[in-house]
Structure 1
């Protein structure tokens, strides 16, 4: 499959992947706010396993998209996850997005469309062993720093966004290793690039655990928006610098692509601001999901024994 057919298939797979990730994120957030005792891996909750299955489906579709399309296109399309998550949450959870969130969704979509129209094609190449170590080391350092920041900050919304940022870095680098695998297999067959598999497993697992914890204190929108900003930014930067991907129209096209990326990021940050302005303390649980609090019966006041008063 060559030319525009491969490119169109890549875009289609990336869009369906974003829908699967959106539904998985909604389920993860529901599990997080109803099971605060297990922030990273609530393995006893069937909903968490359902979210993992949805994320796994999204990952498989994402791999297919990376096989047929450039990393600098596929990763930005993943930012549509939050655009899809808003109407899905509105329909199934009866959450209406505010005006700021709707404006942010439109800006994100327009920015991504501009980025798609400017992306050129190049002969992608896989990473060498030395490059893989450098990329993995830098990513692990960024994830560790953001995790430490999350442990240090006190405000819940900022803690959740730091964890979501770490998850975004992990997911982005996992996609980088997947792309390296895809390029290596297409050129060398199944015998090539197996050394990238541990990187895929490590960063994908870290992304899942960190994203699950990020939903505990700030609801759905702020953490998901943070992941969808950081993930494509990290992966696209590596795609442009390591895999030889380019933009059309030379320097002018690159500047326009930066403007489109900024517009998309601004839209996603509006979605984050819309949630943070509400307090960022986690969404209010329905009454039926709140834990029952025993009501202590008030004790009768202790009556002093009546004294016989002798006149």
Structure 2
């Protein structure tokens, strides 16, 4: 097989591995609600981390065989693979709205990545790396605090997923920088970048795990899948001199693809909000009103008996006379 075919196959298997890892992460989030970030004692969590690591390794190998413009859009198929896999293996079926949102997000992301061109191989100087790291961790802190203030679990999960995508996207930028500047001697500046990569990857992993609490699978996974490469592409355009293909037309098409992907995320979020409200509304319609407490007069004499002056129905409502009046 040719190198291009190998690149496509590895990219598809990588997307399947990412999808399987996300499904396991969502299951861990539902079975270990008291540990939202890192349930280290849960075996499924380690399985999810292994699947994600396997998918990342295949993605890197696919980049070695094929062009970035092909491999990156194929990675957007993760959300498309995740929905049928969840329905087949964990009986978690997605509705028509979730499918429309997932397809919109995937098509928009694939179009955006395919329109992103590449510039000459370059790196970031030390000052820009520091600014990028500070800006990323500051943005993560803001999103984390905003998520904690949200009362709706779905909105909180989507914000956490966006923070996870930001962390992963910035980690990809630092990875590219290290790959360009890597030498056998590994200067001290690269060690700082390696520490930034480790910190961002760990933060993104913990945030993505927490994002699956109370939001299902599709909305958090689609958010991470879209935000990660979009942020990396935006940094590439602003800092690495990358641009969009076909000039002004390509830029307009890229903006349209971004709007399409964002619309898919909004559709997935609203679908989860509607699904979260439906059980409560049904319960409200089927709930029976509780009987009102019997009004009792002073000294324990039933109100209706005191008003009538008789002793009707005293078999069930026998009054208790205080000792002082006996």
TM-score over 0.5 (shorter chain): yes
The aligned residue for residue 138 of structure 1 is 135
Quick check: 167-176 or 9-18, which moved more? 9-18
Q: Secondary structure at the match of 1:237?
A: helix
The aligned residue for residue 151 of structure 2 is 154
The aligned residue for residue 195 of structure 2 is 198
Matches within 5 A, 1:57-136: 57-65=54-62, 77-136=74-133
CA contact (8 A) 1:109 1:264 kept: yes
CA drift at 1:44: 1.0
Quick check: 206-215 or 56-65, which moved more? 56-65
CA drift at 1:77: 4.4
CA drift at 1:233: 1.9
CA drift at 1:278: 0.7
Cα separation, partners in 2 of 1:109 and 1:227, compared to 1, 3 Å = closer
The aligned residue for residue 45 of structure 1 is 42
Query: How far apart in 2 are the matches of 1:207 and 1:166?
Result: 7
CA drift at 1:216: 1.5
The aligned residue for residue 287 of structure 1 is none
Cα separation, partners in 2 of 1:261 and 1:77, compared to 1, 3 Å = farther
CA drift at 1:169: 0.9
CA drift at 1:32: 0.8
Q: Secondary structure at the match of 1:256?
A: helix
The aligned residue for residue 308 of structure 1 is none
CA contact (8 A) 2:245 2:251 kept: yes
Q: Deviations over 1:9-45 (max 9, x none)?
A: 6665444322211111110110111111211111111
Cα separation, partners in 2 of 1:67 and 1:98, compared to 1, 3 Å = same
Q: Deviations over 1:256-299 (max 9, x none)?
A: 122123223323432333222211799xxxxxxxxxxxxxxxxx
Cα separation, partners in 2 of 1:12 and 1:280, compared to 1, 3 Å = farther
Cα separation, partners in 2 of 1:195 and 1:16, compared to 1, 3 Å = farther
The aligned residue for residue 258 of structure 1 is 255
Query: How far apart in 1 are the matches of 2:202 and 2:278?
Result: 26
Q: Secondary structure at the match of 2:267?
A: helix
Name the Cα RMSD after superposition: 2.7
Cα separation, partners in 2 of 1:204 and 1:116, compared to 1, 3 Å = closer
CA drift at 1:212: 0.9
Query: How far apart in 2 are the matches of 1:26 and 1:150?
Result: 22
Quick check: 68-77 or 137-146, which moved more? 68-77
CA drift at 1:76: 5.2
Unaligned runs of 5+ in 2: 280-326
CA contact (8 A) 1:100 1:270 kept: yes
Q: How many residues align?
A: 276
Quick check: 46-55 or 87-96, which moved more? 87-96
CA drift at 1:120: 2.8
Cα separation, partners in 2 of 1:146 and 1:266, compared to 1, 3 Å = same
Asked which structure has the greater CA Rg, the reply is: 2
Structure 1 length-normalised TM: 0.79
Q: Deviations over 1:176-199 (max 9, x none)?
A: 1112122223xx456364432111
The aligned residue for residue 231 of structure 2 is 234
Cα separation, partners in 2 of 1:118 and 1:131, compared to 1, 3 Å = same
Cα separation, partners in 2 of 1:118 and 1:167, compared to 1, 3 Å = closer
Q: Deviations over 1:152-187 (max 9, x none)?
A: 1212112212211211111111111112122223xx
CA contact (8 A) 1:71 1:235 kept: no
CA contact (8 A) 1:125 1:183 kept: yes
CA drift at 1:201: 0.4
